Amino acid sequence: MQQAPGRSIFDGGLPFPLMVVHREALEHNVATMAAFARDHGMELAPHVKTHMSPEIAALQLEAGAWALTVATPRQAMAVRSFGASRIIVANQLVDPAGLAWAAAELARDPGFELLSFADSAAGVDLLAKHAGPRPFRVLVELGHPGGRAGCRSLEELLEVVRYVQESHGVELAGIAGYEGGLAGADEVRAYLLKLQDAVEHVRVRQPILSVGGSQWFDVIGRELVATKATVVLRSGAYVTHDDGYYRERTPFNRIDGELRPALEVWAHVLSAPEPGMAVVGMGKRDAPYDEGLPVPKRGGVAVTRMQDQHTVVQADGLRPGDLLAFGISHPCTAFDKWRVLPVVDRDYRIVGEITTHF
């Protein structure tokens, strides 16, 4: 794809559909979350599964990110190639190939730090089995009933903590949790209290308490200010925000400040086969649909359904060849559909590019 700097995306040189990244919104969001973490005495380890982009990761690191967070060993390998010196794998490391890579990378570079989660003796045993000369540092994960991974009680967590401390090749670094799946602020506060209680039982110097998600970081900022741990926030979706799922759920609906939607998809109308209906050349391969359908930027247009390569809209007066803009809902399933995205200024002139490495 030819993306000459200074070219408008509308001059006929680029194929559509096309997802673009708005530079001002992207830079604003990176700076806003860096400031939020700093002002609340937290470290920020943005979850780069959202974008898997070296260019965006560089912006986040330049803004002071303490680490970069990933979900899988494959992502950790990619992010290591971005230049990250500290990585959190916010998951259980069980894949033999991934464990072998991690052990080798720790041995190769004494300055490299890797943290991963554990919630069982079996998981700790896998880490110990594959450990090299430097131990794997782990955060014992506290979950909640109905949630994903994590110990389901403080007693169970403390058993895993003791097991880590008695194991060779594994070192306790602190506690981890994920509050994003909880229903409301009261549930989040109760869960954070359990995490604080867990940290009080961890006998390591300057333990880490890592929490994640982009829906409740305001509650985290208020509730975890007095903990003895280094609080590390793993939010990821903030970086481009959206016009749907996170627009409705961002903590900046409750506190001062704002995030701005940075992603937009442009596509042509292909057909207007019936009155009040049109088919747009953008589908599930081009825009996310798992947490809400794309959001039309033009009034009087409503998305009714998406298919692999088409989106059906309700609208009057559309003609084949008309160009429409759509905001997205849920950035974490937007970037993976594109390998190169143009970065644009407010006049839609190309000022750079974002590459992705999924």
Structural domains of the chain sorted by starting position, each given as residue range(s) with its CATH number in brackets: 23-243 (3.20.20.10), 258-355 (2.40.37.20)
**Paired residues of 132 in beta bridges:** none
The confidence score (pLDDT) of residue 203 equals 85
- Measured between its terminal Cα atoms, the distance across the chain in Å is 19
Residues contacting residue 318 through CB under 8 Å, at least 6 positions apart: 269, 272, 278, 301, 324
**Encoded tokens for 259:** 């995030």
Walk along the chain (358 residues) and give the pLDDT tens digit of each residue: 556 789 999 999 999 999 999 999 999 999 999 999 999 999 999 999 999 999 999 999 999 999 999 999 999 999 999 999 999 999 999 999 999 999 999 999 999 999 999 999 999 999 999 999 999 999 999 999 988 899 999 999 999 999 999 999 999 999 999 998 898 999 999 999 999 999 998 888 899 999 988 999 999 999 998 788 999 999 999 999 999 999 999 999 999 999 999 999 999 999 999 999 999 999 999 999 999 999 999 999 999 999 999 999 999 999 999 999 999 999 999 999 999 999 999 999 999 999 999 9
**Average pLDDT taken over every residue of the chain:** 96
Question: Alpha-carbon dihedral of residues 341, 289, 286, 32, nearest 10 degrees?
Answer: -10
Query: What phi-psi label fits residue 356: left (phi over 0), alpha (psi between -120 and 50 degrees) or beta?
Result: beta
Residue-wise pLDDT tens digits, 47-85:
999 999 999 999 999 999 999 999 999 999 999 999 999
Residue-wise pLDDT tens digits, 139-149:
999 999 988 89
Distance CA 208, CA 215 (A): 21
- The helix/strand/coil state of 185 is helix
Distance CA 137, CA 149 (A): 18
Helix (H), strand (E) at residue 218 = helix 217-223
- The helix/strand/coil state of 330 is coil
**Count helices and strands in the chain by DSSP H and E runs:** 9, 17
Give the number of residues written for the chain. 358
Residue 266's alpha-carbon distances to 19, 52, 89, 108, in angstroms, are: 6, 22, 34, 45
Residue linked to tokens 């019936």 = 274
